[in-house]
Amino acid sequence: MAQVKMQTARTTLKEPAAAAEDLFKQLGGITPKLVMMYASRERDQVALNRAVRERLPKGCRLVGATTGGELDNTGIYYGTVVLGALWGDFDVGVGLGTGLTNDAVSAGGAAIKRACEELGVRQGDLDPRKYVGLVIDDGFRYKKEELLLGILEKNQTLVLVGGGASDDNRDPAKQSAVLHVDGEVATDAVLVALFRTNAPWGALRSHWYIPTNERMTITKVDETHTRALEIDNKPAALRYAEMLGVEPTDLEFGTPKGFAVRPTALKVGREYFIRTPWKPILEDNSILFANLLEEGSELELMKLGDMAGMTKQFFAEELPRRVPNPQAALLFHCGGRMWYAHATGKVPELAETLRSAPTAAGMNVQFEIYSGFHINTTLTVLAFGSN
């Protein structure tokens, strides 16, 4: 029998050594191969890293990031540190790529190259049935699509899942993110943790939207490929507002009638990958997206479903159906989902759904990665089970 298991711990203690001591006391006598650390941004990350590593068993890897909030089976928290300690039938190689801002493609390529070297496997030989990549990037660099090109350059079949390191400070001028890779504490970087296992696993995603069969075409974009200038050959914000039956001023993400309620999705096979617009630029009636846009691409308009109900159903029904005997779930939960849950008073219901998950640890992220795509307003999950 092959299996991967996880035990979690969470602390509110601020002093690094005391926090680490509290966390490892909760973990007890297990001997993990990998510890995932999700830490609130205001902490001294270097000191926290040192304190946690000093208590790790020999050979155990440490991977983690700062968050926009920390998750475990008991809820969603701010200002804490959550550990997910994994052990069982797996090997892991870890790589860090730096310099996202200047060359994200090369940073992604360097991270996967190093992870493969640690496992003694060529990138082109990665068997997608036995290997899966967990990716965490500095989310505030907005380089996911470029770094994914680098990671997948030599093997497009590798499954990837993850999200952006984040910050619970809502002031864009003060936000920053930090990654942890063993003893390194880095910004402007991307990490890849490459798992090799014969245990059941699944890269999954959950959102709370329903397709409507209403479609729009991005007919003109700006030079950055992040702003839609025209949709269906009309000014983008005017056309989107027309489809929703609202005013352009109602569109911004988080408003009661806007993008969070009726986002767009890219349909790939039977899957809908949410790529929600961000904000209307009323000066020229364009729309800013978080992901790159291509002229001529068709997107489907979605509608909001039962936020808590669909998330609970995912944990209770879909995840166990996809991953036999689920034992561990690493969660990458969109900060935009949290934003909208706060705006609508749904946070307690959403947090309660985590009790239906297998043993879980995770964070609120700055946009998500799933199957090589940059998506948003989604919960992405790497889950392991037993056979």
Task: State residue 371's pLDDT score.
Answer: 86
pLDDT at residue 232 tops 90: yes
What CA–CA distance (Å, rounded) separates 297 from 223?
A: 16
pLDDT of residue 170: 85
CB count in 10 Å sphere of residue 348: 11
Which of the 8 DSSP states describes residue 57?
P
Ranges assigned E (strand) in 99-231: 131-138, 160-165, 179-181, 184-186, 189-197, 201-206, 209-221, 227-231
Average pLDDT over residues 203-207: 96
Looking at residue 1, its pLDDT comes to 85
Q: Tens of pLDDT along 310-357? A: 999 999 999 999 999 999 999 999 999 999 999 999 999 999 999 999
Which pLDDT does position 254 carry in this prediction? 84
**Residue 146 in this model has a pLDDT that exceeds 90:** yes
pLDDT at residue 172 greater than cutoff 90: no
What value does the mean pLDDT of the chain take?
Answer: 96
pLDDT tens-place string over residues 26-65: 999 899 999 999 999 999 999 999 999 999 999 999 999 9
Is the predicted pLDDT of residue 229 greater than 90, yes or no? Answer: yes
Spatial strand order in the sheet of 70-72:
75-77, 70-72, 360-365, 328-334, 379-384, 201-206
CA distance 319 to 235: 41
* Mean pLDDT, range 141-164, rounded to an integer: 97
Q: What predicted TM-score, i.e. pTM, was given to this entire model?
A: 0.96
**pLDDT of 227 strictly over 90:** yes
What span, in angstroms and rounded, lies between the C-alpha atoms of 279 and 19? 39
Residue 4: its pLDDT value, please?
98
Q: 246 vs 49, 210, 243, 257, CA distance in Å?
A: 48, 20, 8, 7
pLDDT digits (tens, 9 = 90+) for 113-133: 999 999 999 999 999 999 999
Per residue in 7-35, pLDDT tens? 999 999 999 999 999 999 999 989 999 99
pLDDT at residue 336, rounded to an integer: 92
pLDDT exceeds cutoff 90 at 138: yes
pLDDT at 270: 85
Percentage of residues in the chain having pLDDT higher than 70: 100
| pLDDT band per the 50, 70, 90 thresholds, residue 290 | confident
Measured at the alpha carbon of residue 114, what is the angle toward residues 326 and 98, in degrees to the nearest 5?
A: 100
Phi, psi of 133 (to 5 degrees): -110, 130
Neighbouring residues of 165: CB distance < 8 A, sequence distance ≥ 6? 65, 66, 67, 136, 137, 138, 139, 177, 178, 179, 365, 366
By the 10 Å C-beta count (0-12 exposed, 13-18 middle, 19+ buried), 335 is classed as buried
Task: Assess whether pLDDT exceeds 90 at residue 97.
Answer: yes
Q: Which of 322, 320, 15, 301 is nearest to 159 (CA)?
A: 322
Model pLDDT, residue 269? 87
**In this predicted structure, what is the pLDDT of residue 182?**
97
In the chain, where are the structural domains located? Answer: 4-205+309-385, 209-303
What pLDDT shows up at residue 125? Answer: 97
Tokens of 257: 């009638």
Task: Judge whether 371 and 203 are in contact, CB under 8 Å.
Answer: yes
Which 3 state secondary structure label does DSSP give 13? coil
Q: How far apart are CA 282 and CA 362, in angstroms?
A: 36
**Mean pLDDT along residues 210-220:** 97
84 Cα distance to chain centroid: 16
